[in-house]
Amino acid sequence: MSLTNIEMVWVDEPPEAGKAGKAAKQDPRYQILKQNPGRWVLWAENVKSVSNHKGFQKVTRNARKDASGKTRYDVYCRYVGEGA
Which pLDDT belongs to residue 28?
A: 87
Containing structural domain, residue 49 = 10-79
Inside any domain, residue 37 = yes
40 domain residue, yes or no: yes
Per-residue pLDDT of the chain (84 residues; tens, 9 = 90+): 566 667 888 888 877 765 433 445 578 899 999 999 999 999 999 999 888 788 999 999 999 999 999 999 999 999 999 875
Residue 63's φ and ψ, nearest 5 degrees, are: -65, 140
> What is the structure's pLDDT at 52?
78
Strand order in the sheet with 10-11: 10-11, 40-47, 71-79, 56-65
Domain contains 2: no
58: in domain? yes
Question: Is 53 within the bounds of a domain?
Answer: yes
CB-based contacts of 10, cutoff 8 Å, min separation 6:
36, 39, 40, 41
* Per-residue confidence (pLDDT) for residue 37, from 0 to 100: 95
- Report yes or no on 65 lying in a domain: yes
Q: How many domains would you assign to the chain?
A: 1
